[in-house]
Amino acid sequence: MNSVLFDASKDLIDDAKAGCADLVFKEVCLEILARAKNVLDDGEFKALLKYASERMQEKTVISVDVVR
């Protein structure tokens, strides 16, 4: 069950990265991590924390065509 929750948490982080500006993405990540802390074991939570940290360091590229 935990692996399903871990994968779902990673998917939520990926979706947030694709759909949010950097500042909003970071806030969403913090919310996901806060909730994941309650349901994942320590090893999985640390892995998710590392994954989220790596995604936070990536810059979001905004296409001008999307803004129009």
Q: Please state at what angle helix 22-39 crosses helix 42-57, rounded to 10 degrees.
A: 180
- pLDDT tens per residue across span 18-43: 887 878 888 999 999 999 999 999 99
Confidence band (pLDDT; 50, 70, 90) for 66?
Answer: low
With contact defined as beta carbons under 8 Å apart, do 48 and 30 qualify? no
Q: Which one is predicted more confidently, 66 or 45?
A: 45
